[in-house]
Structures are given as C-alpha cells and as structure tokens.
Chain A
Amino acid sequence: MSAVDFVMGDGVLRQAQDVDVSARESPPSVDFRALFEREVSYVMRSLRRLGVAERDLEDVTHEVFLAVHRRLGTLDASRPAKPWLFAFALRYASHYRRSDRCDLPIEHAPDVRATEMGAEAVLERRDKQQLLLDALEAIDLERRAVFIMHELDDVGCQEIARSLGIPIGTVYSRLRLAREDLESAVKRLKAQRGYR
C-alpha cells in the first residue's frame, strides 16, 4: 500500500478525518527517530511550500509525524522516504488550508543563515523565496504538489506518480500546467511589486 492510497484516494484530496490513520499496518522496520531527524526539515519545508503559515509549521509538522508514526509499517524501506512523506504533508496541508488557521497571511521563513551572508544578499534571497511562495499560492494545490516534488525536491516523474497514486501522464500534465501557471503568476507579481 502506498501512502497515496489513503492520502489522495481516487485523486481527490479527502478530509483528514475521513481516513482512519490510527491503525499501524505492520511492525515498522524503520527507525522512526532517525527518520524524523533526517526528514523533519524536509517536511517543514514542504508544508511551507504547500501553504502552511510559518506560525503553524511546527504544529502541522507535529501532526504529520504523528500520522507517519502510525503508518510507519507501510513505508517501503527500499524506496526513498521523501516522496512518501510528501504525500502526508500534502494531505495535512490540504486539510490545513480548509481550516480557520490559514486565514492570516503567510510570512517569511526565518533565515538562520542570515549572519553568514551579507544583508543585501539575504534580503534578495528572501524576496525571491517570498515571490516564489506567493506565486505558488496562486496555483492549484495538486499542480503545485507535483511542481514542488519535481522542481524543488528532484523527485522523478515516475516516483511522483507512484507516491501520489496518479498516472504518469497526469504528472506530466500537472507539471506543464504548473510551470505555465507559475510563470504567469511570477510575471504578474513582479509587475505589481515593481520588480524588474
């Protein structure tokens, strides 16, 4: 069973409470703590890119890993963990976006490397990161998920299809549309903000 079987089902994101994630599938062969330590940054990054506000990132990440722990027995240790985890993040981000919590605007992520860079470079990078986040907000969540996995996480299209439980053609289609949507959104936002 892939993560997708309960994450996306027939291709439509379902409400989190629709699916019982309380049952452990089988005794996990993966060290949960090692998985957490290795991938918590990735999960938080993914949630942020999927529209979870900075102030809620820790809480939603916590919820994701509670579910991951329950489903640890379904993780195929021979396959990369990131796409499997991303499916959890997508589901919880989707649920989050339907909740009251995401009414407030999304703010900058704190940049803990700021002291290692010049202030100008930090600000420039933050502007770019925020521009991309804002542009991502403008596109459909399913397209956005495919774009994030492929363009930002280097996940191959086959693996995306497997993780999200969608046909490979749908992956290509969503990727193409996401790029088009994103290009338009970036142009529009840059014009609005007076960027060159």
Chain B
Amino acid sequence: MNHDSPTSSTLQDLIHAEREIPTLPREQTVRMFDRLAAQLPLPAASTVSQAPVESAIAQAGLRTKVFGLGCLLLGGLGGAAATRALVPSSNSTTSNPVVTRVEIVIHTASAEAVPPSAPPEIQATASSSNPRNHSNPPKKQEPPKVSNDLKRERLLLETARAALQRQDSASAKAALDEHARAFPNGQLSEERTILLRAADAIRP
C-alpha cells in the first residue's frame, strides 16, 4: 500500500454492496414522521401526503411499488375529495388528527392516534401547505446534475485509485487528467491532487 492508501478492490467490493441498501418503505417513513408530528408543531405525514410522495419518488428513487402508490395519490390532484378518500385506505398506518381537514380526522380516528392539541402554529402550517400540494410540486433542493457530476468525478478517481493499486501510474494519470479536464474545479479536485502525487511517486 502506498502512502495515499488507495482503496483495495476488496474494500471497494464491500463499499459497493453497502451502497445498495435501499430506501425506507413509504409506510415506515410515514409512520416515523407521524411520530415526530406528535411531538412537534407539524401536520402528520399521513394526512397531507401528495407533495412528499412526489418529492420522495423524484429524489430518493423509491421503487416501482411505491411509485405506483404515488401515481395513485397524484392522480387524485384534480379532485381533492377523491384523493382524501385514497390516502387513508391505502397508505395510512398511524395518524395525527392535528389537521385542518375534518374528513381525514374522521377517517383516521380509529388508528393509533396521538391525542392532539392544535396550537396555532399547526393550523398555519397545515393551511399554508395545502394550496402548494394541489398546484405546484415542491422545488428539488439538489439538482440531479450535481449528483451526476459528483458520481462522474468519483468514478474517475476510483479508476485512478484502482490503477494506483496496480502500480499502474500511466493509467492513473490518464484518469486524473481526464478528471482535470472535465472538472478543473470539481468537488474532488483536492483528492485528485493527492492521487496525482501518489501517481508521480510510482517509478515506471
């Protein structure tokens, strides 16, 4: 192992396996949020779910089953009543009746409810979020391009690391040169510099 300690292929294999851990099932996410909502001035997830479902699908890459459920829910955007009817029957496991929609409170009253007291903050949050849920999807905070760039950066540096592991400085430098051309000021440029030094240290 040289001074830069590039990751071995064995370790890379383990890292690859660990990266494959899936996202949480939608039901668990809703249940966990409802637990938080019982302690915080928030509306329960199981009572206003359209926008987060879309957001979760777009950004967390939920699988087909959940996506189907999301489509089902989003399909009801044109008719709020239809959507309200779908939400509790398909997706709610627990709920917090701290909501402004009387219909949902009635539907979920028999679930594992958390006794609410609705402070003004809750009312404001719930009512201000509703119009957005029915018209405009929430903004994505992390544009996919950033993530893709980072993945490409990482891939190039992993290639360089693997080459260094084989003492193949030419291949390592080629990958690092490509990284320098594509991402002169990339997020991993500091590591590129270090790997380049490691490549220079290898005697041909």
Contact = CB atoms under 8 A, between A and B. Distances in A.
Partners in one complex: yes
Interface of A: 30-34, 36-38, 40-41, 44-45, 49, 58, 61-62, 65-66, 69, 77, 80-81, 109, 111-113, 125, 128-129, 131-133, 135, 151-152, 154, 156-159, 168, 172, 176, 179-180, 182-183, 186, 190
B15 to A, nearest CB: 6
Given A37-B52, A66-B36, A109 B21 contact: yes
Contacts of A135: 14
B138 A34 contact: yes
A80 B39 CA distance: 26
Contact of A154 (B6, B21, B45, B150): B150
B20 interface: yes
B107 interface: no
B13 A128 contact: yes
- Classify the interface of chain A: helix, strand, loop or mixed: helix
Interface stretch (B55-63, B83-91, B108-116): B55-63
Interface stretch (B24-32, B73-81, B93-101): B24-32
Among A34, A58, A77, A111, max chain B CB count under 10 A is at A34
21 contacts: A32-B40, A32-B42, A33-B43, A33-B129, A34-B51, A37-B55, A38-B55, A38-B56, A38-B59, A40-B33, A41-B29, A66-B36, A66-B39, A69-B42, A109-B21, A113-B63, A125-B20, A152-B19, A157-B190, A183-B8, A186-B14
Contact of A151 (B7, B20, B59): B7
Contacts of A151: 7, 15
Interface size class of B (residues with CB under 8 A): 35 or more
Contacts of A131: 14
B17 A129 contact: yes
Given A158-B187, A176-B5, A183-B8, A33 B33 contact: yes
